[in-house]
């Protein structure tokens, strides 16, 4: 999948493979992209930049794998320097991203840590200001998803950890970043189709994704007069470690994405253009908006 052509006109239905029985696999949380089979396409060879973010300074969370990795690679190829956040266990994936960014001639500052910790979130923004010289883009892509079939088995610990990872971290990072952002800066938060079409087994996760939409739409209005825009990307089923590391029952991975109108799962690189567009000046009159990148499922 890695040498895929992302630019020539072609049928999106067959652009990437559909899930098969081989997609059934299981890793412990948070999972490693390099151990997935097939390895997802995060744009390593397929995303080409064109200077749309020249000179920008960006913080990307979850930048080691999946969608965050695709965003980090795309932002660097569009000309931005990057501060990467990820969990310490994900160093093997993150190293590859750092190398790919450095090959573009941009800065890649790696800062592993736990986004459930408010101090780490504050330090991430302080580090961006110190090491990159400021922050123009905050892409909150990190997220936690662990399926639980029955509310009786959903622990307070998990409910808390999902909210801390997905909602509180976004609050802490936005709060710290806004203090440093100049007019023209952009925040992009990551929701999900789960915000509108929640799976019964993703009670905690789906609820955080609805909260992310609403938080972003309120914050967008609050900071508009400072010249800061806040938008959201809401992916549908995308082939990433999240899904094979407890995000879905393993059995279901054989048909992952087949219920979308396009009939297949998305690849992380297919999410990157949405994050680039919302970060760039091209989206100057768009704020408080959710861009649904979900294979054609109708969404509000
Ligand atoms: P992924 O596993 O590749 O990325 C998630 C990342 O979140 C991890 O790599 C990890 O670095 C980070 N993370 C999680 N908990 C953390 C913590 N406590 N501290 C620091 N980092 C932490 O999977 P992905 O699918 O690319 O996920 C990216 C985003 O996309 C998530 O917000 C997810 O909810 C969202 N999303 C994914 C899908 C999908 O089908 N893959 C669909 C809709 C939305
Ligand atoms: Mg990861």
Exposure string for 87-126, b = 16+ CB within 10 A, e = fewer? beebeebbebbbebbeebebbbbbbeeebbebebbeebbe
State the Cα torsion 97-295-145-114 to the nearest 10°: 30
Question: Residue 94: which H helix or E strand, with range?
Answer: helix 91-103
User: Could you tell me the strand order of the sheet in which 57-61 lies?
Assistant: 108-110, 81-85, 57-61, 137-140, 186-190, 229-235, 290-293
Is residue 5 over pLDDT 90?
no
Q: What domains lie within the chain, and their CATH numbers?
A: 38-292 (3.40.50.720)
**pLDDT tens digit string along 8-19?**
999 999 999 999
Q: How far apart are CA 51 and CA 68, in angstroms?
A: 19
Ligand 1, atom 21: nearest CA belongs to which residue? 86
Is the distance from CB of 91 to CB of 107 less than 8 angstroms? no
**pLDDT tens digit string along 34-74?**
999 999 999 999 999 999 999 999 999 999 999 999 999 99
Residue 13: partners with Cβ closer than 8 Å, 6 or more residues away: 262, 263, 264
Q: Residue 14 C-alpha to ligand 2 middle, in angstroms? A: 26
Nearest residue to 142 (alpha-carbon basis) of 103, 96, 93: 93
**pLDDT tens digit string along 187-235?**
999 999 999 999 999 999 999 999 999 999 999 999 999 999 999 999 9
Question: Residue 290: which H helix or E strand, with range?
Answer: strand 290-293
Q: pTM for this one?
A: 0.99
Residue 164 structure tokens? 């801390």
Q: Residue 113 C-alpha to ligand 2 middle, in angstroms? A: 12
Give the end-to-end CA distance of the chain in Å, rounded to a whole number. 32
- The atom number, within ligand 1, closest to the CA of 242 reads 2
**Residue 47 known to be catalytic:** no
Give strand pairing partners of 109. Answer: 83
Q: How far apart are CA 265 and CA 222, in angstroms?
A: 35
**pLDDT tens digit string along 260-280?**
999 999 999 999 999 999 999
Q: Which residue in this structure is represented by tokens 């990437």?
A: 16
Is residue 145 over pLDDT 90?
yes
Show the 3-state SS of 211-274.
HHHHHHHHHHHHHHHHCCEEEEEEECCECCHHHHHHHCCHHHHHHCCCCCCCCCCECHHHCHHH
Residues having CB closer than 6 A to ligand 1 are 30-31, 62, 64-68, 86-87, 90, 114-116, 141-145, 165, 190, 192, 235, 237-238, 240-243, 268
Exposure string for 155-194, b = 16+ CB within 10 A, e = fewer? eeebbeebbbbbbbbbbbbbebbbebbeeebbbbbbbbbb
Q: Residue 142 C-alpha to ligand 2 middle, in angstroms? A: 8
Is residue 2 over pLDDT 80?
no
């Amino acid at each position: 999948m890695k040498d895929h052509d992302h630019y020539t006109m072609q049928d999106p239905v067959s652009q990437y493979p559909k899930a098969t029985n081989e997609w059934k696999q299981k890793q412990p949380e948070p999972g490693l992209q390099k151990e997935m089979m097939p390895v997802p396409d995060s744009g390593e060879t397929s995303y080409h930049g064109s200077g749309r973010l020249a000179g920008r300074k960006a913080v990307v969370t979850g930048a080691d794998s999946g969608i965050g990795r695709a965003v980090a690679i795309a932002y660097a190829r569009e000309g931005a320097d990057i501060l990467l956040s990820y969990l310490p266990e994900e160093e093997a994936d993150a190293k590859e991203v750092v190398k790919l960014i450095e090959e573009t001639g941009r800065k890649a500052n790696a800062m592993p840590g736990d986004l459930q910790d408010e101090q780490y979130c504050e330090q991430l923004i302080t580090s961006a200001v110190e090491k990159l010289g400021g922050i123009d883009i905050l892409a909150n892509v990190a997220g936690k998803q662990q399926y639980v079939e029955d509310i009786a088995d959903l622990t307070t610990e998990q409910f808390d950890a999902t909210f801390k990872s997905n909602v509180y971290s976004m609050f802490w990072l936005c709060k710290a970043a806004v203090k440093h952002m100049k007019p023209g800066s952009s925040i992009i938060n990551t929701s999900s189709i789960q915000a509108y079409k929640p799976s019964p087994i993703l009670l905690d996760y789906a609820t955080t994704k609805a909260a992310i939409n609403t938080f972003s739409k309120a914050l967008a209005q609050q900071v508009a007069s400072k010249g800061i825009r806040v938008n959201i990307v809401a992916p549908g089923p995308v082939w990433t470690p999240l899904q094979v590391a407890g995000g879905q029952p393993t059995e279901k991975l054989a048909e992952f994405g087949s219920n979308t109108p396009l009939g297949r799962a998305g690849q992380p690189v297919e999410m990157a253009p949405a994050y680039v567009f919302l970060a760039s000046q091209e989206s100057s009159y768009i704020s408080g908006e959710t861009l649904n990148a979900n294979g054609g499922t109708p969404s509000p």
